[in-house]
Amino acid sequence: MLRRALGFKLASAARLLGQFVSYLEARGTSTVTTSDALAWATLPAGASPAWQAIRLSVVRGFAAYLHGTDPSVQVPPAGLIRRGNDRATPYLYSDAEISALIAAAAGLRPRLRAATYQTLISLLAVSGIRIGEAIALDHGDLDAGSGLLVVRDAKFGKSRLVPLHPSTTGALTRYAALREEHHPRPANPALFLSTAGTRLLHSNAGFTFTRLAGQAGLTRRSASCRPRIHDIRH
């Protein structure tokens, strides 16, 4: 709350801390230990040291705060995970690779989930918007009549209009109709819905994309360059 009052959004930190707390709850753990923090930070297997270090740093800040009122909370030491190269090399997708990803998404079940990821991947590829921006879109942010998408409260708190090709508008309109068919009165206004009728989670979208990339035959090009959903916008 204090850091948010100072202007920090902390969207990524909040998401990661939520995942860490869920991890502790699933293990029946009621406090933070260094071993649990390290075990969670190194998930999933094969993630880059830089990403693991980011995950652990989020837990360290949380643990340090808790330690002030509960001395039993362990604060993982700094440098426990060596960051290595902090910046990933963007994975630039070919048209054939994008087509392969969309084809792989067609195999997801049920039908709405397949359509969600086919449409999501397609929109990222043709619009250049970020995955977080796409997930944050509401149904009302699509102006099909004008062929515009409203991206609200994006990077640096700015909003913008994204012009769409008629083919993109048509694809989003068809998806919206299918979304309405499956969830005529959704509890969430999100444009892209999960099968439960909720907004997609960033972590679940990433995990699903990794699985689709494997099915499409996409592999690492180097130690720092792997298929990521974030890079589709490039």
Q: Tell me the C-alpha distance between 124 and 130, whole Å.
A: 7
Q: What is the per-residue pLDDT for 86?
A: 57
> Who wins on pLDDT, 223 or 222?
222
pTM: 0.68
- CA–CA gap between residue 157 and residue 226 (Å, rounded): 29
Q: How far is CA 52 from CA 35, 46, 71, 147, in A?
A: 14, 10, 25, 40
Claim to verify: residue 57 and residue 122 sit in the same structural domain: no
What total number of domains does the chain contain? 2
Torsion sign, CA atoms 153, 155, 156, 162: negative
Give the residue-averaged pLDDT of 42-70: 89
CATH code for the domain of 109 = 1.10.443.10
> Are 51 and 161 part of one and the same domain?
no
Domain boundary among 48, 67, 86: 67
- Distance CA(178)–CA(176), nearest Å, equals 5
Which two three-digit tokens encode residue 173? 């309109």
Whether residues 63 and 114 share a domain: the answer is: no
Mean pLDDT of the chain: 89
Domain span at residue 60 reads 2-67
Asked if residue 146 has pLDDT above 80, the reply is yes
| Tens of pLDDT, residues 158-199 | 789 999 999 999 999 999 999 999 999 888 999 999 999 999
Dihedral-angle region of residue 71 (phi above 0 means left; psi in -120 to 50 means alpha; beta otherwise): alpha
The pLDDT tens digits for 75-109 are 999 888 877 655 778 999 999 999 999 999 999 99
With beta carbons less than 8 A apart as the criterion, state whether 63 and 48 touch: no
pLDDT at 159: 86
- Quote the DSSP letter at residue 191: S
Residues 175 and 229 in one domain: yes
Question: Are the C-beta atoms of residues 200 and 190 closer than 8 Å to each other?
Answer: yes
